[in-house]
Amino acid sequence: MSRNSAMPADLVAYAAAHSTRPDEVQKALIAATETKAGGFAGMQIGTDQGVFMTLLTAVLQVGFAVEVGTFTGYSALCIARGLAPGGRLLCCDVSEEWTSIGREHWEMAGVSDRIDLRIAPAIETLRSLPPEPKIDLAFIDADKTGYMSYYEEILSRLSPQGVILVDNTLWHGMILEDSGAEDSDTVALRAFNDHVAADERVEAVLLTIGDGVTLIRRR
């Protein structure tokens, strides 16, 4: 299944072909994920989304980033490459198995010194963060029923120029009420999307890149 449910497959392929292509380390990480993660490999973000995240991180000159849900580390690699000099990325995940794949490729890419991986429930890690530094960029891509809690913890810690990226907000089209999907993840994502759209504290746009990426900043 394509990660992009908003466009025909040929347009998705065209967009990917006309975006910066993954380098050899990224290709190796994609291949390792497909081999070692098997049916879970689809949780990895698409290459076009990775380029977008690197560019956004660089344009914002991010000094401190937080990722909730790291899986095999492709998105972390993309964010780390865009960090400002001396910038840091805090990754929150609960799996030693999946993140070990990421660690290997972060080393290969020369960005491991920029990444602090915490193996613990993400909500505990977020709640333990000190007041400083403020978060310049956050990426939420973990358990969908936890999105609301992660969002609230991060929003209160955003820097004035900070942004939040939230993945899977189109949910392969199941986000639509007439899709008939009523599982807990889909219900949680619908509630999250409605909450952000109505939240007067923020400005947000739901982008059709990948499986839907919502970009949020404080007013």
DSSP summary character for residue 207: E
- Structure confidence at residue 198 (pLDDT): 98
* CA neighbor of 149 nearest in space, from 205, 103, 191: 191
Q: How many domains does the chain have?
A: 1
Determine, yes or no, domain membership for 2: no
Residue-wise pLDDT for 116-162, tens only, equals 999 999 999 999 999 899 999 999 999 999 999 999 999 999 999 99
Determine, yes or no, domain membership for 4: no
CATH of the domain at 82: 3.40.50.150
The answer to whether 43 touches 71, Cβ cutoff 8 Å, is yes
CA dist 180 and 177 (Å) reads 6
Enclosing domain of residue 169: 9-218
Would the pLDDT of 2 be above 60?
A: no
- Structure confidence at residue 180 (pLDDT): 86
CA dist 92 and 200 (Å) reads 28
Determine, yes or no, domain membership for 3: no
Would the pLDDT of 99 be above 90?
A: yes
Q: How far is CA 103 from the centre of its chain?
A: 17
Determine, yes or no, domain membership for 181: yes
Residue-wise pLDDT for 65-85, tens only, equals 999 999 999 999 999 999 999
Residue-wise pLDDT for 52-69, tens only, equals 999 999 999 999 999 999
Residue-wise pLDDT for 153-212, tens only, equals 999 999 999 999 999 999 999 999 888 889 999 999 999 999 999 999 999 999 999 999
Cis peptide leading into 133, omega within 30 of 0? yes
Q: Are strands 135-140 and 64-68 parallel, antiparallel or unpaired?
A: parallel
- Structure confidence at residue 125 (pLDDT): 98
CA dist 109 and 79 (Å) reads 12
Beta bridge partners of 165: 139, 215
Determine, yes or no, domain membership for 142: yes
Phi, psi of 21 (to 5 degrees): -85, 155
CA dist 111 and 115 (Å) reads 7
Q: How far is CA 192 from the centre of its chain?
A: 16
CA dist 211 and 14 (Å) reads 16
- Structure confidence at residue 5 (pLDDT): 64
Beta bridge partners of 93: 119
Determine, yes or no, domain membership for 1: no
Q: Does the predicted TM-score (pTM) go above 0.85?
A: yes
**H or E element at residue 164:** strand 158-167
- Structure confidence at residue 1 (pLDDT): 39
